[in-house]
C-alpha cells in the first residue's frame, strides 16, 4: 500500500510555456500532499503544502503565482509551472501523507518529474 | 530555525560490514523520525519510521532514537553494493511538514 504516482515522469518544454504535473495517491486518500524541488546534488526543498479543498501553503521564497497548486480531490494534486524558464529546470517530487494504521505523518513520495526548460 | 544535521559523507564501507548513519535534530519537541533512501536520479523511498526511544528493527535495518540526546541513527547490517545511495533523515517538529537533513551518501564496495 501507500503508492504515489506522478505524471509525466519527464518533460521538456520551451521557455515561456506552462507545464502541469499530476500527483496521485493510488491506494489511499491523502488530505495533504507536498511538493518538493531538488536541484542536482542538493537536498530536497519543500515548495508548498497542498490541502484538499483549500489553498496551498507556500514556503518562503516560492512564488505562488508561478507555481500553481490545485488539490481538488483526496487523491489528486497538480502543480503547474507557469511561464517556465530555464532556471525552473529541476526534479519536482510530490509526496502524500498516509494516516492509515495509526501512523501520524508518514509521507510517501512519488517517482518525481524531471523538468527541462529550453 | 528547526534543523536536521547529517554528515554528507561519503561513508564508505566494505560489503558485508555494518553501516552506521547518524542524524541530530534541534527541536526537542519532535515526535516522529524517518529514514529515506534516495538513489541517484530517483525520488526518496521510506526505509524506517521511529517514534519511541530505543531500537526498531526491520530486516537488515535498525533505527535508533535517543530523544534526550536528540539523535537518531540508522544501522545497516550486512551492507550490500545495492545499499549505495543517499540516506535522508527526516524529522517532524510538530507541524504537518517534515524537516529533512541534506543526506549522507553511503558507498558499499564489493
Mean pLDDT on B76-95: 93
How much is the pLDDT for A103? 54
Residue A43 class from Cβ within 10 Å (0-12 exposed, 13-18 middle, 19+ buried)? middle
Instruction: Please give the mean pLDDT across all residues of chain A.
Output: 91
Residue A52: the pLDDT is 83
Number of C-beta neighbours around residue A21 at 10 A: 23
Per-residue pLDDT band at A31 (split at 50, 70, 90): confident
End-to-end, the C-alpha distance of chain A in Å comes to: 37
Q: Within 13 Å of residue B109, how many CA atoms lie on the same side as its CB?
A: 5
Share of chain B above pLDDT 70, in %: 97
Is B82 strand, coil or helix? Answer: helix
Give the best residue of A4, A39, A40, A43 to mutate against chain B (max B CB count within 10 A): A43
Sign of CA dihedral B58, B39, B19, B3: negative
> Cα–chain-centroid distance for residue B95?
20
Half-sphere exposure of A90 (CA within 13 A, CB side): 20
pLDDT score for A43:
85
Q: Average the pLDDT over A43-60 and give the result.
A: 90
Cell numbers for A45, please give them: 526543498
Residue B101 CA to residue A23 CA, distance in Å, equals 24
Cell of A32: 495533504
Percent of chain B that is helix, strand, coil (3-state, to 5) = 5, 55, 45
Instruction: Please report the sign of the dihedral spanned by the C-alpha atoms of residue A10, residue A43, residue B18, residue B12.
Output: positive
Q: Do A109 and B44 touch (CB under 8 A)?
A: yes
Task: Find, among B85, B18, B10, the residue nearest to B47 by Cα.
Answer: B85
DSSP state of B2: -
Q: At B94, is the pLDDT very low, low, confident or very high (cuts 50, 70, 90)?
A: confident
Question: Do A117 and A13 meet the contact criterion of CB atoms below 8 Å apart?
Answer: yes
Give the integer Cα–Cα distance in Å for B62 and B60: 7
Using the beta-carbon criterion (under 8 Å), do A34 and B97 form an inter-chain contact?
yes
- Residue A6: the pLDDT is 97
Q: What is the pLDDT of residues A94-116, one digit of tens each?
A: 999 876 655 567 889 999 999 99
The chain-wide mean pLDDT, for chain B, equals: 94
**CB within 8 Å: A44 and B44:** yes
Peptide linkage before A8 cis (omega within 30 of 0): yes
Which of A7, A107, A115 to mutate to probe the B interface, most B CBs <10 Å?
Answer: A107
Is the previous residue joined to B10 through a cis bond, with omega within 30 degrees of 0? yes
Bigger pLDDT: B104 vs B2: B104
- Interface touch A112/B42, C-beta < 8 Å: yes
Amino acid at each position: 500500500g501507500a503508492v504515489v504516482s506522478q505524471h509525466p515522469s519527464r518533460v521538456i518544454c520551451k521557455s515561456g510555456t506552462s507545464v502541469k504535473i499530476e500527483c496521485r495517491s493510488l491506494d489511499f486518500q491523502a488530505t495533504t500532499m507536498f511538493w518538493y524541488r531538488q536541484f542536482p546534488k542538493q537536498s530536497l526543498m519543500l515548495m508548498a503544502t497542498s490541502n484538499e479543498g483549500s489553498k496551498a501553503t507556500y514556503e518562503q521564497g516560492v512564488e505562488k503565482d508561478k507555481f500553481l497548486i490545485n488539490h481538488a480531490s483526496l487523491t489528486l494534486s497538480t502543480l503547474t509551472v507557469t511561464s517556465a524558464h530555464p532556471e525552473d529546470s529541476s526534479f519536482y517530487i510530490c509526496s502524500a501523507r498516509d494516516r492509515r494504521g495509526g501512523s501520524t505523518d508518514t509521507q510517501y513520495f512519488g517517482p518525481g518529474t524531471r523538468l527541462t526548460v529550453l | 530555525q528547526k534543523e536536521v544535521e547529517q554528515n554528507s559523507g561519503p561513508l564508505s564501507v566494505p560489503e558485508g560490514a555494518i553501516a552506521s548513519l547518524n542524524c541530530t535534530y534541534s527541536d526537542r519537541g519532535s515526535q516522529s523520525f524517518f529514514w529515506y533512501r534516495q538513489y541517484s536520479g530517483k525520488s526518496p523511498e521510506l526505509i524506517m519510521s521511529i517514534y519511541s526511544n530505543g531500537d526498531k528493527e526491520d530486516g537488515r535495518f535498525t533505527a535508533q532514537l535517543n530523544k534526550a540526546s536528540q539523535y537518531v541513527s540508522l544501522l545497516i547490517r550486512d551492507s550490500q553494493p545495492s545499499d549505495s545511495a543517499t540516506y535522508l533523515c527526516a524529522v517532524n517538529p510538530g507541524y504537518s511538514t517534515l524537516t529533512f537533513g541534506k543526506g549522507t551518501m553511503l558507498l558499499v564496495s564489493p
